[in-house]
Amino acid sequence: MNEITIHGVTKRQKRMLNIMWNLETEQEYFEWYNSLDTELQQEAELLQRLIIMAELDNDVCDTTDAKEVLQQFMVKGAS
């Protein structure tokens, strides 16, 4: 996975992101999530969406695979 950067988060959101990042299983995530009150659950959901959006943005900006495929079809110039 690429490095993900999310700008403009609060200190609390940064702590939450660090907790989320360090959870190793889906079960651990849901145990942590269910321990939160409603407001913090909503904030966790927002942060989760921001992570997904950041990763999608990284995928869209990474054109390495497309360039490799196009390279196969390039007409080589005569020497």
45-68 residue pLDDT tens: 999 999 888 888 766 666 676 667
Q: What is the pLDDT of residue 78?
A: 46
The percentage of the chain sitting over the pLDDT mark of 70, rounded to a whole number, equals: 73
Alpha carbon of residue 41 to chain centroid:
18
Nearest to 48 by CA among 70, 17, 73, 18: 17
Query: What is the SS3 assignment for 15?
Result: helix
Q: How many helices (H) and strands (E) does the chain have?
A: 4, 0
Give, as one character, the DSSP assignment of residue 35: T
Q: What is the pLDDT of residue 75?
A: 60
Alpha-carbon gap, residue 50 to 9, rounded angstroms? 10
pTM: 0.66
